[in-house]
Structure 1
Amino acid sequence: MAKKFITIIVFLIGFLSIAQNDQLFEKANSFYNQEQYQEAIDAYTSILESGQESASLYYNLANANYKLSNIGPSIYYYEKALELAPNDEDIKNNLSFANNATIDAIDVIPEGVISRTIGNFTNMFSFDSWAWISVFCVIIFVILFLLYYAARISSKKRLFFLGSWISLLIGVFALIFAFKQYSFITNNQYAIIFAQESTIKSEPNLRSEEVFELHEGTKVKVTETVNDWKKIKLADGKIGWIPATDLKEL
């Protein structure tokens, strides 16, 4: 009885929290529409701090920061929104606008056609989406295979047999893409520069040689952490060390 009562209490608290965040989200949108962008940012951030996140929340927070010329935070939150909604064209377009406002011009090492095609296809869906597609296809495979054994008409048997194996094949490829997406996420930790200007060092200490400079909004790959320093790699292959306080990891 006590466990049931606790469960009900937890459910009610969760429900009230969601309702409260919905009201706060609408209030933040109202601030944004009235061009009170800092107030909107504060409201959106309060929702994030409560543990709730969504593509629309990150997107609106990015827009509000962009309106105040907070390039680093705007790019960061557009990237976070894109993680949850990788096919959203509005997010992609606004992220492109924000990237155009950055100072650093970094040449990207070109990928091969095959590698780029596979990467683009893999990024069509998130890891969770690919996993669910795989599960759904396996279920369809089982159903069609059972129908194949139950069917008495040869044309239907051929149809069910073909459909079942096509479903299984799609499921296997979806599973491969899911693991590829998961591997990409776990092995590629990216971050956005938040400092207006940051000096990149050759080693993780202030006495080491300065190798280059980066500015707010630039996206970097984090490859190593030593104390309060992050080793980063740029899209053009340059590497160096940056104070951890100068960036924010995605």
Structure 2
Amino acid sequence: MNAVAAMLVATLLGQGYYSSEEAQGLFQQANEAYYRSDYAAARAGYEKLLERGFGGPDLQYNLGTTYLAQDDLGRAVLAFERARRAGGDGPDLEANLALARARQLDKVVGSEPEESFLQRVVAATSGNGVAWGFLAAWVTGFVLLILFRLLRPGRRAWAAVLGGLFLVLSLPAGALLAAHVWVQENLHEAIVIAPTLRAREFPREEAKVSFEVHPGLKVRVMEDTGRYVRIRLPNGLEGWAEREGVAEI
């Protein structure tokens, strides 16, 4: 995948640890380590970039492939999911994510709760695409309305029509963008990274264990208290697990 461009542009401002050249050099060194099958060195390089505030779909994808090569399924799925959320796509990402999921120990069975219409719409659309679409329609509409005021009478009707059309188009785009923001702020998905994560009836160590799950399983974090979070499995089963055993996407 493309090495550095997307990773650096969005995150370079405010970073005092590495210059763009240093970050690019470290990224390339990690890539070379991966191709030599020195997965420990590759992992260390990618993780160092993340610790310094750099990110992006390419870095997350490469880190995910490194975790997968080390059979660290939880962190592999987590990195691939983060790559998707950051705007990454393509057959390589989907193939590696499917491979990681196929290796998972847990095969959750049962009736999965139906997602709401809002969740399905958000899942079917790109957050970045929606944001850019809304911005483009809104800005274009106002520019055309300003142009309408500047043009002479008799030559400005087209600007009013097109300006109004673009502003109308910005309304559903804005609503969809608001839906993306709401889902991102209120629906917290996480990946199990602990070798064995025990979910209990109550958020206490002495509480009875309801079930166990293993690395790579995607869960939903419903609430948290102290060192525990209440997780919900894809089949609707819920329990309290230690916070350190999961990582939010």
Same fold per TM (> 0.5)?
Answer: yes
1:193/1:248 contact within 8 Å kept: yes
**What TM-score results when the alignment is normalised by the length of structure 1?**
0.83
Distance 1:87 1:168, change over 3 A: farther
- Once the two structures are TM-superposed, the CA of residue 205 in structure 1 deviates from its matched residue by 1.3
2:142 pairs with 1:139: no
Structure 2 residue runs without a partner (length 5+): 1-12
Q: Match for 1:41: what amino acid?
A: R
Tell me if structure 2 keeps the 8 A contact 1:25–1:43. Answer: yes
CA contact (8 A) 2:224 2:230 kept: yes
Aligned to 1:109: 113
- CA-atom RMSD in angstroms: 2.5
User: How many residue pairs are counted as aligned between the two chains?
Assistant: 234
Match in the other structure for 1:99: 101
Mapped to 2, the partners of 1:12 and 1:193 lie a distance apart of: 32
User: Alignment partner for residue 40 of structure 1, among 3, 19, 42?
Assistant: 42
AA in 2 matched with 1:70: D
Q: Could you tell me how far apart the structure 2 residues matched to 1:50 and 1:115 are? A: 35
SS in 2 for 1:240: strand
C-alpha displacement at 1:16, in angstroms?
Answer: 5.3
Cα offset, 1:101, TM superposition:
1.4
Q: Which has the larger radius of gyration?
A: 1
What code does the residue aligned with 1:27 have?
Answer: Q
Matching residue within 105, 120, 123 for 2:123: 120
Find the counterpart in structure 2 of residue 29 from structure 1: 31
Q: Determine the C-alpha separation between the residues in 1 that align with 2:188 and 2:60.
A: 19
| 2:227 alignment partner in structure 1 | 228
Q: Secondary structure at the match of 1:236?
A: coil
| Whole-angstrom CA distance in 1 between matches of 2:142 and 2:192 | 49
Asked whether the equivalents of residues 59 and 78 of structure 1 are also in contact (C-alpha less than 8 Å), the reply is yes
Q: 1:15: how far off?
A: 9.3
Given the alignment of the two structures, is residue 243 of structure 1 paired with residue 246 of structure 2, yes or no?
no
Change (3 A) 1:84 1:151: farther
SS at match of 1:63: helix
Query: Which segment drifts farther, 84-93 or 235-244?
Result: 84-93
- Report the structure, 1 or 2, having the larger helix content: 1
SS of the residue aligned with 2:210? strand
The amino acid of 1:234's aligned partner reads L
Which structure 1 residue ranges, 4+ long, deviate > 6 Å from structure 2? none
Matching residue of 1:195: 194
- Conserved 8 A contact 2:73-2:100: yes
8 Å Cα contact 2:57-2:88 kept in structure 1: no
- How much has 1:57 moved relative to structure 2? 0.5
Deviates further, 170-179 or 209-218: 170-179
CA distance in 2 between partners of 1:139 and 1:98 (Å): 42
Deviation at 1:82, TM superposition (A): 1.1
Shift of 1:186: 0.9
Identity across the alignment (%): 22
Deviation at 1:200, TM superposition (A): 1.2
Gaps of 5+ in 1: 1-10
Shift of 1:66: 0.4
